[in-house]
Structure 1
């Protein structure tokens, strides 16, 4: 089970020696690799109408790429091409801070305090601290667009961040915010983030210092991220309910395994379980270790559709080295889909506890987290609660970044189409919970506890 699920999420390191940062060369390389290796290409460029729109876009971008654009302008051209496919897994980025242009918007801390002193607690405005980066920023209104904000560096232990440097632009989008970061990386897709009370969840929690201070409960939550703990927590919000909080799967398998083993006896001794995966954008694995607590009867994890290509087949050959029949199908069907084997799962027996399980989900749940939710959401014990997830798992299986001629650009490509994509796609809508919660998100845990305690 671990092996099958992990195939969708692993991202490994890579190196490239040759360098060619000519924009047209890199655009053409990107186009070629996506047309042959991307599992969603044929779905996204399938009708005469979208083939025409695609061809026009490619022509326009090629013209722009020949005008000797700067590195930043070239990145925008490549990002425009990537974003045509509307796939949050398909991304290009610049992760070398030295290659991210520094933009300055001078602001002192005293000025920031003046600008934000009357900000409501429901607003993201204020002064924020990132404990891992030892970075302090001010988030103030952009002044140009409603619900738009900017983050400006006030203090940093990292000398690559300068006081007054523009760190991010933040735009409200429904229940979440899109964050375009300038400080340390560029991405073709602006990541999602959430402000909940005095915590700003953007992969790692920021805490607000001014004009509202974090509460003791919020301080306790931030503390669960210290010393590499990744926010993992397990506690009993009521005598009959245990809550396991997993805000990321971006950790080593051994760390997550040790956490589950440590709390296994408590989970097995408690009638009801809440698995809180809110804000969990995925990582290197999913809920495999939690399956025994959710299991009631044997089930099958449906295999996806592998995009057979010369490049992709090198990866698949490693995954299925012992399956000569499957490898032959991959070689014989270049340019087509080849089904992955299904994966049957069974345990000796269902556990007496937990009797019922709630999975709390929100709009920041993506990738490996969504895949896990898709697998377990219809289990007899399980009820999903919250709001629709991110919508990031119709195409998956990210491996080592795919090299293009300029190593400044890091490009990842999904090479497997999920089993549900043709019949019940999720990328545009996310996965809906069984019970939609309309109350403030800070109340959701209490609602889940109440729901479980009312079960018979």
Structure 2
């Protein structure tokens, strides 16, 4: 069994990917005790956090010795000194941007930094109180539905009821104001504690180019100016930089149109054609393990006689290798070879990897036991690197080659981290063909991510603890993994493109 673990938890790559502007990290870790911002001055608070960030990356990041060389060290030292001066007087948001700039030196999306979602009960209470004061309209689900029914075929394509992030928000979009071509998107239902029904999530107005100039309000009610377009034959709104809204009302005739055109956040397995099943995997986070096993079991009979399987990994955010191992028997045609990793041995990495082992012990005891063995080796090698396994590669064998599915297509666009390790394993199968309009993300060479909170409790930093023994000759991070068959950029329905290809194949 392979044992490496990449981008754990909801680290959206996971950790909400944390590769763009500062974002929220899902949950704090207990390694550092937070200092109350009220108990120390801002300069002390900020510099303590900044120095902690620099020290932890230097002491624990597995890419440090690769990225920080005699040639690059002067540039890093100059950057560190310059940003430290700015950090002393920075606001919380400014500090987050400074930290992002510093970790950007490493050009590795497995070095991550983000603001914690909450700073305690008082912050939560303040946010809830503030939420009631934001712009709102007296719209309800009933009134929006009634207005849409009255509009009939005079409804603008952007008018309707739309879902954002699954059930995170449902918004009603209708014309609003006296000027033509202007609309408001009002929250009808939400699972967010910081939003209320009736509040205005976005304001949209058609421009001369036919696109919708949009004032979008983030989860924290901060405002962003962006552009929106109605896409997928009216089934979705694409908000530049903020993803896809799916239309609920009026109902869409082709229910799968949005999921085919744009990667869904939902895991599912469904039939696409009489000969092809479609498995969507948004990520391989630990939480997917049991639902994925249950999903495969529920469709066992279908899988046992389906000629084709499409595995949709577009923008897969990574997770843990043990999650995808339940898929490997369906792909298997010959022994699977995996190049090993070297681990950076440090006290922090040991503590955090022990927590990982304990977290997954119940659902994946074999993987936890292997981590325990690796952790025992780590404890004996502080200050250096060690091979995670006795050999520089592993070989995985199964007892049989399943007759079905006969052909497996994997859509790879933007898949990263564990998603890419899956691709390296999957492409060794004679059944598998990789498809994509884009390469994979290129976030794999330094992996097995852990993290901890900064001393103030305002932020979290995460880093890779392993480096691949493929380096330096066979990197993935430089350009990602290329598809076997490139889907044309002009293709509006890439899933249909793949299904059509599969259905044309003959034994």
Alignment of 1:102-251 (within 5 A): 128-130=162-164, 131-136=166-171, 157=190, 158=192, 160-161=194-195, 163-164=199-200, 182-184=218-220, 198-199=235-236, 206-208=245-247, 214-218=252-256, 230-235=266-271, 237-250=272-285, 251=287
In the TM superposition, what is the alpha-carbon distance from 1:33 to its structure 2 partner? 0.3
Q: Equivalents in 2 of 1:291, 1:200: separation in Å?
A: 36
Structure 2 residue 107 is the aligned partner of structure 1 residue 72: no
* Greater C-alpha radius of gyration: 2
Bigger Cα displacement from structure 2, 8-17 vs 96-105: 96-105
Aligned residues: 408
Q: Equivalents in 2 of 1:109, 1:423: separation in Å?
A: 62
Q: Equivalents in 1 of 2:107, 2:52: separation in Å?
A: 19
Cα distance change of structure 1 residues 406 and 232 upon mapping to structure 2, 3 Å threshold: same
Q: Equivalents in 2 of 1:339, 1:91: separation in Å?
A: 24
Bigger Cα displacement from structure 2, 94-103 vs 431-440: 94-103
Cα distance change of structure 1 residues 155 and 43 upon mapping to structure 2, 3 Å threshold: farther
Structure 2 residue 386 is the aligned partner of structure 1 residue 335: no
2:338 is matched with: 301
Q: What secondary structure, in the 3-state scheme, does the structure 2 residue paired with 1:413 have?
A: strand
Provide, for residues 254-280 of structure 1, a one-character-per-residue CA deviation record: whole Å limited to 9, x for no partner: 111000111122122122222122232
In the TM superposition, what is the alpha-carbon distance from 1:37 to its structure 2 partner? 0.8
The question of whether the paired residues in 2 share the 8 Å contact of 1:221 and 1:231 is answered with: no
Structure 1 portions without partners, runs of 5+? 111-117, 139-150, 168-179, 187-193
Q: TM-score, normalised by structure 1?
A: 0.74
Cα distance change of structure 1 residues 29 and 384 upon mapping to structure 2, 3 Å threshold: same
1:266 is matched with: 302
2:3 is matched with: 4
1:14 is matched with: 29
Cα distance change of structure 1 residues 335 and 181 upon mapping to structure 2, 3 Å threshold: farther
2:51 is matched with: 28
2:41 is matched with: none
2:106 to 75, 85, 95: 85
Q: Equivalents in 2 of 1:221, 1:433: separation in Å?
A: 20
Cα distance change of structure 1 residues 297 and 127 upon mapping to structure 2, 3 Å threshold: same
Structure 2 portions without partners, runs of 5+? 10-26, 38-44, 140-153, 174-183, 204-215, 223-229, 358-367
The question of whether the paired residues in 2 share the 8 Å contact of 1:246 and 1:277 is answered with: yes
The question of whether the paired residues in 2 share the 8 Å contact of 1:200 and 1:206 is answered with: yes
Q: What secondary structure, in the 3-state scheme, does the structure 2 residue paired with 1:392 have?
A: coil
Q: TM-score, normalised by structure 2?
A: 0.68
1:367 is matched with: 417
The question of whether the paired residues in 2 share the 8 Å contact of 1:244 and 1:276 is answered with: yes
1:289 to 314, 326, 329: 326
In the TM superposition, what is the alpha-carbon distance from 1:244 to its structure 2 partner? 2.2
1:397 is matched with: 448
Q: What secondary structure, in the 3-state scheme, does the structure 2 residue paired with 1:132 have?
A: coil
Q: What secondary structure, in the 3-state scheme, does the structure 2 residue paired with 1:402 have?
A: strand
Q: What secondary structure, in the 3-state scheme, does the structure 2 residue paired with 1:29 have?
A: helix
